[in-house]
Copies of this chain bind each other. A is one copy, B any other.
Amino acid sequence: MNHYANQTRLLVAIDCIIFGFDGQEIKLLLIKRNFEPEQGKWSLMGGFVKEDEDLDVSASRILYELTGLTNIYVEQVQIFGNVRRDPVERTLSVMYFALINIADHDTDAVRSHNASWISLSQKPNLIFDHDEMVAIAMDRLRYKAALHPLGFELLPEKFTIPQLQKLYEAVYNIPLDRRNFSRKLLSTGLLQETGEKDENSATKKAMLYRLNQDRYQSRFNAFWNFVPDSMLV
């Protein structure tokens, strides 16, 4: 026996929800399709799973083709499998969400795919069930970022505490108290002073930190709580 007889085989695709942060807003990397189906409309970046390709490898490949990046934060969210979600043919889709530092990506690769960074607040309608995917991925981001130190993945290597606070305020769309935020964050021991200051500021220059990588790795699955419970519902 080298195959299962009489069973249906199905198309399986990957769709990537790629988040970035420009210092003010959460952004999505979306594609204006210059190919069929639904040419001319916006969609997530995706592709089919190949015969000899693990799912995670497939997701990494697709992300690399679009951004030129390799070591980025990627996480499988879930698989979508409603029978009629793709009007062309039944296609299962495995959602991956990715967090990237918006300054790092390969601009040429993005341009050649006809992709753009678009603010979540200005997102156009997407094809198929991609709007629902974005909503689910955003929920997942909110959920995980509230419990684990995930947000750093969206910032450059050196960052300031006010930048991180702006990121959290953008993710949860709430104001946070500077003093409490800073106190909590520093108490985690995740930050390492660089001794440098952020020269881009027009007023008092904030101190630049980098992640304490050892502690970040070892504490990633531990819990923290930077968001009021009421936000997590």
Please determine whether B233 and A89 come into contact, CB atoms closer than 8 angstroms.
no
Answer yes or no: A66 CB below 8 A from chain B CBs. Answer: no
Interface string of A1-22 (1 = CB under 8 A from B): 1111001111110000000000
Q: In the complex, what residue of chain B is closest to A95 when comparing beta carbons?
A: B79
**Chain B residues, Cβ within 8 Å of A92:** 12, 55
Q: Which of B4, B7, B76, B223 lies in contact with A79, CB distance below 8 A?
A: B76
Answer yes or no: A50 CB below 8 A from chain B CBs. Answer: yes
**Chain B residues, Cβ within 8 Å of A232:** 221-223
Number of copies: 2
Please determine whether A229 and B223 come into contact, CB atoms closer than 8 angstroms.
yes
CA distance A82 to B221 in the complex (A): 24
Answer yes or no: A156 CB below 8 A from chain B CBs. Answer: no
Answer yes or no: A52 CB below 8 A from chain B CBs. Answer: yes
Answer yes or no: A49 CB below 8 A from chain B CBs. Answer: yes
Within the complex, what minimum Cβ distance (angstroms) separates A100 from chain B? 22
CA distance A83 to B122 in the complex (A): 39
CA distance A1 to B87 in the complex (A): 10
Please determine whether B79 and A55 come into contact, CB atoms closer than 8 angstroms.
yes
Within the complex, what minimum Cβ distance (angstroms) separates A6 from chain B? 9
CA distance A3 to B55 in the complex (A): 22
Answer yes or no: A202 CB below 8 A from chain B CBs. Answer: no
Answer yes or no: A91 CB below 8 A from chain B CBs. Answer: yes
CA distance A54 to B82 in the complex (A): 5
CA distance A224 to B8 in the complex (A): 43
Q: In the complex, what residue of chain B is closest to A36 when comparing beta carbons?
A: B1
Within the complex, what minimum Cβ distance (angstroms) separates A160 from chain B? 27
CA distance A147 to B143 in the complex (A): 11
